[in-house]
Amino acid sequence: MNETPDRPTGRTSNDRPPRYRVWLRDLSEIAGREELSDPEVDLDGGQAHHLRDVLRLREGDPVEVFDGAGCVGAGRMAGRGGVVLESVRRVAAPVPAIDLAVALPKGPRGDDLVAVASQLGAARLIPLRTQRSTVHPRPTRYARFEKIAVESARQCGRAYLLKVSPTTPFEDVLREGHDLRVMTAPNAARDEIASRLQSARRVLVLVGPEGGWTDDEVDLAGRAGCAALCLGANVLRIETAAAAALAVVAYLATA
């Protein structure tokens, strides 16, 4: 099946838009098999059960398939719970790519933060190790983060999965090649961000721990050229500050 870059996704033979999205990691590989026409692909047991037995989709109902890496397919339900692909297109990655570097909050709030960052369009979430951070996720937790990112992408319609990086020291994040760095800071003077976003292709949003940034970290960020973003006079939870900062930067990037 050929990939068609410009053909709209989500139209099937009965011309009804799909109401449901499913994740298929190997979609791009499957779509590249030239010898296959109208291929039926199997879904994992959980997704097949959800579509067939929970949502009660019937054979022929439209479904959108995505791989989380920019490949999106239009298809229809097959009789035994698979999907018959009808077309596949490649979606360009959003520009600018916004990375969120944040000191993760405790407990399930970290899971909520992953979901919210995905819904707000962050390209990558980087758990920060700062002088006052207390949560540094173990490698085993990243499988859960990916599951949350997949479910969030399925729900919100994004074509690219949020990537969650290993825990990274604050000073190392500042050395990455971002065109613009934005740091949340209470009572900060307003820096001009909107004009700088217009030419940026990679943006870093920094959100500190519950105890706040240290003076050394603020100084280091200033020397790295970070713009300050004040989110108001109230003290915010980490996940609230991260959501607000992402929303502001995303809005200014498209304004």
150 and 179 in a single domain? The answer is: yes
Q: Which of 108, 101, 106, 107 is nearest to 129 (CA)?
A: 101
CATH number of the domain encompassing residue 247: 3.40.1280.10
Answer yes or no: do 102 and 152 share one domain: yes
On whether both 33 and 154 belong to a single domain, the answer is no
DSSP-assigned letters across all residues of 113-140: HHHHHHHTT-SEEEEEE-SS------GG
Q: Are residues 199 and 237 in the same domain?
A: yes
Going by their DSSP bridges, the two strands 40-41 and 83-90 should be labelled as antiparallel
**Which of these three, 69, 90, 111, is where a domain ends?**
90
Verify that 126 and 161 share a domain, yes or no: yes
Domain annotation covers residue 173? yes
63 shares its domain with 163: no
Burial 7-34 (b: 16+ CB within 10 A, else e): eebbebeeeeebebbbbbeebbebbeee
- Pick the last residue of a domain from 43, 60, 90: 90
Residues 156 and 112 in one domain: yes
Domain holding 228, by residue range, is: 97-254
Specify if 141 maps to a domain.
Answer: yes
Reported as a single tens digit per residue, the pLDDT across 129-150 is 999 999 998 888 999 999 999 9
Over residues 148-188, the pLDDT tens digits come to: 999 999 999 999 999 999 999 999 999 999 999 999 988 77
Per-residue pLDDT reduced to its tens digit, 33-88: 655 555 778 777 677 777 777 778 788 888 999 999 999 999 888 877 688 888 89
Residues 152 and 69 in one domain: no
67 and 102 together in one domain = no
Same-domain status, 25 and 139: no
Please check whether residues 213 and 120 belong to one and the same domain: yes
* Cα 39–chain centre separation: 28
Residue 170 backbone phi and psi in degrees, to 5: -55, -45
Is residue 106 domain-shared with residue 205, that is, in the same domain? Answer: yes
Question: Structure pTM?
Answer: 0.86
When divided into structural domains, the chain yields a total of: 2
